[in-house]
């Protein structure tokens, strides 16, 4: 068995690595915003896109984000890697970020809603939303709403939502959206990832004819800090790291959705390994998508028609 594993190892690694973004598209004169890009796949997405154009890293932890940005600047020679404060667990912070961004940047061509939390013990955001729903869905929903006009003005533009295969295990429990009646942190994560898929679907429908596309993706099972809230998952991730994607491999589909020329007019789709992937029946339910949209607007106190 050890000999077999030794021989098979490169092939297993190649299989685990999955698809790669082969596009060499440049982004000169274009502006990219990536949330949560101070670590993991977000940082690797920023690293790649910084070789192509201007990248704004939007993060809660400014010190960590500045360290990531200076590393990327040094490596790519691109000084246009900028850090801005954004806490997706606080709608005030999201509004302040958007206000500053709109005052300082006249264009926005690519918005990558990458940041996320996973397996958190029950907790709430500043505004009282359950943490997974609040950060993974509502935070990005509000951010996209606030930046949408700038995306439309800069068209052709793209919105990329990082979801997960975990959306297959999710359902929209409108009777208990905040998990106050029953809470399971694994399921809460799944529900929020389904929300990402449904949001993408309805957003794409509403943006038809605007030259702004919206697509979602599954990055793969990636060795990252996302499992930090679970001792068991952290332990398993260490043991099976050989069978997990590196953050660089996990970033490939995000990069693909952001720059691939062949996706210029593709919208409302879900990708994995740089190709279209299967969406769960719940993720294809237009009525649920519309209901989630109106409930999200209600919770955030916004009107988005």
Active site residues: 189
Q: Within a 10 A sphere around the Cβ of 184, how many other Cβ atoms?
A: 12
- Torsional sign, CA 56, 62, 64, 67: positive
Kindly report the length of the chain. 305
| CA 113/CA 97 separation, integer angstroms | 14
Q: Spell out the residues 6+ positions from residue 286 whose beta carbon is closer than 8 angstroms to its own.
A: 201, 202, 205
Query: Are the C-beta atoms of 112 and 258 separated by less than 8 Å?
Result: yes
| CA 181/CA 61 separation, integer angstroms | 32
| CA 189/CA 131 separation, integer angstroms | 9
| CA 32/CA 121 separation, integer angstroms | 32
Query: Are the C-beta atoms of 116 and 250 separated by less than 8 Å?
Result: no
| CA 64/CA 270 separation, integer angstroms | 30
- The dihedrals phi and psi of 30, each to the nearest 5 degrees, come to -110, 155
Residue 84 bridge partners (DSSP): 58
How open is the CA angle 250-254-260, to the nearest 5 degrees? 125
- DSSP code of residue 123: -
Do the bridges between strand 270-272 and strand 275-276 make them parallel or antiparallel, or are there none, so unpaired? antiparallel
| CA 6/CA 86 separation, integer angstroms | 45
Q: Within a 10 A sphere around the Cβ of 102, how many other Cβ atoms?
A: 14
């Amino acid at each position: 068995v050890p000999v077999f594993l030794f021989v098979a190892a490169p092939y297993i690694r190649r299989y685990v690595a999955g698809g790669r973004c082969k596009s060499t598209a440049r982004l000169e004169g274009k502006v990219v915003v990536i949330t949560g890009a101070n670590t993991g796949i977000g940082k690797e997405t920023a690293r790649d896109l910084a070789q192509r154009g201007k990248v704004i890293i939007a993060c809660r932890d400014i010190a960590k984000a500045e360290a990531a940005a200076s590393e990327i600047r040094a490596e790519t020679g691109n000084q246009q890697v900028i850090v801005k404060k954004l806490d997706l667990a606080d709608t005030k912070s999201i509004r302040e970020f958007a206000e500053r961004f709109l005052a300082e940047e006249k264009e926005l061509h690519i918005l990558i809603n990458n940041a996320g939390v996973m397996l958190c013990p029950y907790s709430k955001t500043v505004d009282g939303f359950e943490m997974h729903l609040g950060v993974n869905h509502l935070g990005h929903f509000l951010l996209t709403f606030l930046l949408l006009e700038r995306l439309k003005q800069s068209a052709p533009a793209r919105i990329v939502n990082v979801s997960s295969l975990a959306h297959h295990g999710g359902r929209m429990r409108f009777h208990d959206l905040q998990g106050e009646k029953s809470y399971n942190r694994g399921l809460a994560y799944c529900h929020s990832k389904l929300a990402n898929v449904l949001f993408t679907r309805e957003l794409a429908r509403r943006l038809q004819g605007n030259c702004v596309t919206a697509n979602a993706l599954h990055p793969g099972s990636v060795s990252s800090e996302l499992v930090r809230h679970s001792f068991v998952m952290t332990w398993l991730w260490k043991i099976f790291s050989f069978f997990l994607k590196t953050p660089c491999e996990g970033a490939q589909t995000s990069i693909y959705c952001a720059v691939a020329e062949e996706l210029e007019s593709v919208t409302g789709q879900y990708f994995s390994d740089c190709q279209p992937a299967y969406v769960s029946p719940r993720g294809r339910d237009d009525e649920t998508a519309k209901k989630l949209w109106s409930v999200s607007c209600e919770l955030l106190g916004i009107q988005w028609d």
